[in-house]
Amino acid sequence: MRYIPTTEQDRKDMLKRIGLQSIEELFDDIPARVRLQGELNLPFAQTEYELFKSLKSLAEKNNNLEQYPSFLGAGAYNHIIPSAVQHILSRSEFYTAYTPYQPEISQGILQAIYEYQSLICGLTGMDVANASLYDGATALAEAAVLACEATKRKKTLLSTTIHPEYRMVTQLYLENRGMEAIQIPHDKGQTDLNYLKDNINEETACVLIQQPNFFGFLEEVKEVAYLTQKIGALFIVCVNPISLGILEAPGYYGADITVGEGQGLGNPVAFGGPFLGFFASRERFIRQIPGRIVGATKDIEGKRGFVLTLQTREQHIRRQRASSNICSNQALNALATTVFLCLVGKKGLQEVANLCLQKAHYAYRKITSIKGYSPLFTQPFFHEFPIQTPDSPEEINKVLLEKGIIGGLDLKRHYPELGPSMLLCVTEARTKKEIDTLVQTLENYHE
């Protein structure tokens, strides 16, 4: 509530109507020994104008993406969000539709989810999509579990070029179900295909890769798909949805399940959440997909309508047939994604992806020309790339932050064997001036 609508006279009239003299009398039934004695240690009430000034001064103590250009990616990306996204999110049709079990009063949100599912299918080249999951990590983990259940096998092969935190979540899901997660090492930043050939067999339920991968590099997806499906395993791809503006959709190169993080599609970074995981698959897995699926139907008058068609949660169906206990979806975030995709359209998404590609390669060329900075690996990449640094990335990032720049990710946390190295990200939101300032700061640091 932005303001308190009742006046002092309103409160007096209401107390008089119920025969009381003060608000404190409303709490007379609560024993005095458990009631607060004295006043709360809080500032005095403020007017709306004063309150906004106070909150703004507090917010300005944070380093925010409106003031600081960010070259940090690794799963959370600073993209441009059209202002119309927030406007449409604020419409009353979507305010309280958290659990749309009653379609007669939830058509707005049900249609929004249906449109979201349709857009995700179109984007990924898959047959069906669910209403969304918590984030990209849980989507990948649920995909691995589905593959094990569908194939009746318990061994999964997980590339170490997948986001390390996604791998951790997936491994946790699998281990607690008696399933096995085997890590495929990387070869110069890409999935080691020789290791995959030597270790994949008829006991393998699925192979999981990321495209582009955690380092930003493109994987040999068609070769992985061939090796995987040759032995009857499922091919699971975790994708950056923005990259699909220029890269081939997973459904066209053989993916059985496609998942990913949808934050970059109309959702702010917002200190790390809330995000949304998208999940799409071939039609044959429709009754095993976790979460919810909204479908289109007709009412008794023949009018088009939308309903919750399938739910695989154990609360809603027989426990032995449940494939997941995930009990919600990120409906508001999914709506933002829907609005974003509708606003930018196919050509707009291509333009966003192409700008990311061109700006990232410009930054790459400039940075790797600085003495002391060199490519960690030389593979084709989209909008992220790792570089070797002349000093600890932690120290370099401190200097960058002093200059008002958010630097890249220190890879030591996840890949200590790589030595001093940093993962940088450049999206369409970065300007040439910002990139040049980053380059100049790195040059000055080395000098």
- Domains delineated in the chain: 83-340 (3.40.640.10), 345-444 (3.90.1150.10)
Residues of the chain with pLDDT under 50: none
Instruction: Measure CA 378 to chain center.
Output: 27
Of 447, 389, 398, 395, which is closest to residue 422 (Cα–Cα)?
389
| pLDDT tens digits, 20-29 | 999 889 999 9
pLDDT, residue 323, reads: 66
The reported pLDDT for the residue numbered 66 is 86
Q: In the prediction, which pLDDT does 260 show?
A: 98
Distance CA 415, CA 68 (A): 27
Q: Kindly give the interhelix angle for 136-151 and 164-175, rounded to the nearest 10 degrees.
A: 40
pLDDT at 261: 98
130 in Cβ contact with 276 (< 8 Å): no
Query: So what's the pLDDT on residue 109?
Result: 85
pLDDT digits (tens, 9 = 90+) for 92-147: 777 655 567 778 778 888 899 999 999 999 999 999 999 999 999 999 999 999 99
Position 32 scores a pLDDT of: 87
* DSSP one-letter string for 329-394: --HHHHHHHHHHHHHHHHHHHHHHHHHHHHHHHHHHHHHTTSTT-EES----BSSEEEEE-SS-HH
DSSP 55-115: HHHHHTTS--TTTS-B---TT-------HHHHHHHTSGGGSS-SS---GGG-HHHHHHHHH
